Amino acid sequence: MSKLSVDDLNPAIRNVQYAVRGELAIKAEQYRVKLQQSPTSHGLPFNHVISSNIGNPQQKGLDQRPLTFVRQVAALMDYRDLKNIAPNAFPKDVIARADELWEEIGSIGAYSHSQGVPLIRRHVAEFIQARDGYPAYPEHIFLTGGASAGVSLLISMLISDPGKSGIFIPIPQYPLYTATLAQFSGVPIPYYLDETNGWSTSVNEIRSLLEKTRQEGKVQPKALVIINPGNPTGALIDRNTQDEIVHLCDQYNLVLLADEVYQTNLHRPETHPFTSFKKVVLESGKDVALVSFHSISKGVFGECGRRGGYFECTNISDDIIATIYKMVSITLCPPLQGQIGVDCMVRPPKKGEESYALWEKETNAIHKALAERTRHMVAALNAVEGVSCVDSPGALYLYPRIQLSGKAIEAAESAGKAPDVFYALALLDATGICVVPGSGFGQKEGEHHYRLTCLCPGVEEYVGKLVEFHEAFTKKYPHV
């Protein structure tokens, strides 16, 4: 037996919870292994596991196809000899891109600049400037191993007084935020999104919480997290609310942390467009400290495993930029293939280039599939008694609310489970569909939700199983 026990570890670690890869995901993986080992004699009521618990588009079973341009550039950077071995296999613009990156980077087996390859940071700055119409500067941009790495770094730096430094987080929220706050002994200050109004953000509620927190004096509010489009809700914040949020951060001296990784996941861009908080801050003329995050894991890329992303600092002082650089230097550099993915994301093929037609075809197909699946799932779920689901205009998820009877809640309590966890485990056992219970994201007392992705192919069969299960569950645990 090891002499090292959990009690010997940092006590903050024991408080970390991360629902999207928690109990449900572990059990789903056990089922997946059982199906592989005994394909004809597994004894389960389903023949495959559907991983609807995490936004992982290229995961086996979801199988979103990688974008050809990205993989071709990556291949030429990973194995340079391909340029000569298969000279006719790659479009000219792909070869030109790889040549340009190779000239700057060399072998991707070597470390890069700790802040990220300078040329790629320059391209990110050009992308931001073209998007927002305002200057962006490479020295204010940090490439990261996915957006999560940047979020964790910034939150850790903002916890100046462990146990007392507070950060406002939306509820429901992506559990990265509560997990990171627990890890660094920060204090989450939850503000609730309004489900009855499309999961909108209430600035008045945040202001009331701010005043209450300041009056109590136990926690010092340091920052406000905004996830736009939302995760798990898929909601988009309207421009008036964005203006109010910026004014609030200016009034109370809060750092604004803008998680914008789903900015291109827009199902109805004509009526629900994305506006970056960088644009809103600069148009306001207010000196609000802003850190904006983006990633290659979402959008139409779905390159989660490459771990690529960036954050941009706006109205952040040079000494803090230098401190951030010191901290990223500890890990030497972000993954090079992730950085190359970022370059492809911010600099896709242009009209007239050889790769453009295929790029447009592939990206349009992914956007169309996500929008159609979302629309179909919302309609089907809302047609079920005891289920209500906000029609998500963005991101990759839906967050339906389920009505559970007193009998179901009693059964959950007897099993030692939260009601929505009990429901989600039963769903997994019956159908092989793995979702995330709403308690992992946060919800109002007495409410029950679950998050599922809109990435699953065969959406009719998939949603049909959700509907059939809910009806059977309700019959087993009826309302009286």
**What are the structural domains of the chain?**
11-64+360-476 (3.90.1150.10), 102-346 (3.40.640.10)
- Decide if 192 contacts 199 (C-beta within 8 A): no
Largest CA distance in the chain: 73
Cβ contacts of 141 within 8 Å, gap of 6 or more: 115, 116, 121, 124, 125, 128, 310, 311, 312, 313
Instruction: Give the SS3 label for residue 10.
Output: coil
**Burial class, 315, CB count within 10 angstroms (exposed 0-12 / middle 13-18 / buried 19+):** middle
pTM: 0.91
Provide the residue count of the chain.
480
φ, ψ at 432 (rounded to 5°) = 80, 5
| Helices and strands (DSSP H and E) totals, the chain | 16, 14
One digit per residue, the tens of pLDDT, for the chain of length 480 reads 567 777 766 777 666 665 555 778 888 889 888 988 887 888 888 888 888 887 778 787 777 889 999 999 999 999 998 988 988 889 999 999 999 999 999 998 998 998 999 999 999 999 999 999 999 999 999 999 988 899 999 999 999 998 899 999 999 988 888 888 888 889 999 999 999 999 999 999 999 999 999 999 899 999 999 999 998 898 999 999 999 999 999 999 999 999 999 999 999 988 899 999 999 999 999 999 999 999 999 888 888 888 999 999 999 999 999 999 998 998 889 999 999 999 999 999 999 999 999 999 999 999 998 999 899 999 999 999 999 999 989 888 899 999 999 999 999 999 999 999 999 999 999 998 889 888 888 888 889 999 988 887 777 888 889 999 999 999 998 877
Place of tokens 């994305």: 274
Measured distance CA(89)–CA(101) in Å, rounded:
19
Helix-helix angle 118-132:336-346, to 10 degrees: 30
Helix-helix angle 203-216:239-252, to 10 degrees: 20
Measure CA 180 to chain center: 14
Measured distance CA(456)–CA(238) in Å, rounded:
28
- Decide if 153 contacts 131 (C-beta within 8 A): no
Sequence letter at residue 28: A
